[in-house]
Amino acid sequence: MHIPDGYLSPQTYVPLWGVSLAFWSVAQKKVKKEVSAKQVPYLAMAAAFSFLIMMFNVPIPGGTTGHAVGAGIIALFLGPWTAVIAVSVVLIIQAVVFGDGGITAIGANCFNMAVVMPFVSYGMFKLIQGKTESGVRTSVAAFLSGYVGLSVAAIVTAVEFGIQPLLAHSPDGSPLYAPYPLSVAVPAMAVEHLVLFGIVEGVVTVLLFKYFLKNEPAQIYALREKGD
């Protein structure tokens, strides 16, 4: 899901830089209020976990890669705004230091994986979980939070790819950036994540959630925030 340089036109990556900057600004203020000193080590471990799990990249058609992200469990454990910061830091380091994802595409990659995914994952969990705090329903909610969150983020990425031929092309109609239309980009990204990577993300999310539920239930943000 890491978009490289040269695949997004300025008409796409510039606005997404702006959107990501806006979310970073709000997230910074939220984290100061929501993350206690005791939770700072958890924040560091969450970023390290996301970094590790995203290193297992599998190339897929459409010019990008597929992988788990870890944003779902971070959103459930520390909150979606904290996940914005944790995953964004990882994505920026990956782009600048390791060349995994383009510099111009940092805003887009952060929007897809550090904004869309945490909030979709958190919202899905709260929707399915309801008022239940344990049992099968909560496990299903945790699995779906990871599965749906990653799948939606992948489809958003595919749409960004697929609209490039419409936004930027030469006089003869040749695409100047990502060459694949929506009819290619969306199925390529959606199928891979719906049948493989999303399931991996869901399994990882539910296993870690059950661990935290057993050992650190009071620290789980999604269970503390009853009013969401």
Helix axes 71-78, 40-54, angle to 10 degrees: 170
Q: Does residue 227 belong to any structural domain of this protein? A: no
CATH number at residue 101: 1.10.1760.20
CB 128 within 8 A of CB 143: no
At 140, the pLDDT band (50, 70, 90 cuts) reads very high
pLDDT in tens, 188-207: 889 888 988 899 999 999 99
Number of domains in the chain: 1
Kindly report the backbone phi and psi dihedral angles of residue 169, in degrees, each rounded to the nearest multiple of 5, phi listed first: -150, 160
Q: Could you tell me which of 199, 195, 161 has the C-alpha nearest to residue 68? A: 199
169 falls within a domain: yes
Task: Give the helix/strand (H/E) hosting 58.
Answer: strand 58-60
Asked whether residue 225 is assigned to any structural domain, the reply reads no
The CA distance from 62 to 155, in Å, is 12
pTM greater than 0.85 (yes/no): yes
Q: Which two tokens stand for residue 95?
A: 């782009």
Identify whether 4 is part of a domain: no
Residue 56: which domain range? 10-219
Asked if pLDDT for residue 66 goes beyond 80, the answer is no
What is the CB neighbour count within 10 angstroms for residue 71? 37
For residue 147, being part of any structural domain is answered with yes
Mean pLDDT of 113-122: 97
Average pLDDT of every residue of the chain: 90
Task: Give domain status of residue 1, yes or no.
Answer: no
Higher pLDDT, 33 or 206: 206
Give domain status of residue 48, yes or no: yes
Residue 214 lies in a domain: yes
Q: Which string of b and e fits 41-68 if b means at least 16 CB within 10 Å? A: ebbeebbebbbebbeeeeebebbbbbbb
The residue type of 52 is: L
Residues 107 and 157 sit within 8 Å (Cβ to Cβ) = no
| pLDDT above 90: residue 16 | yes
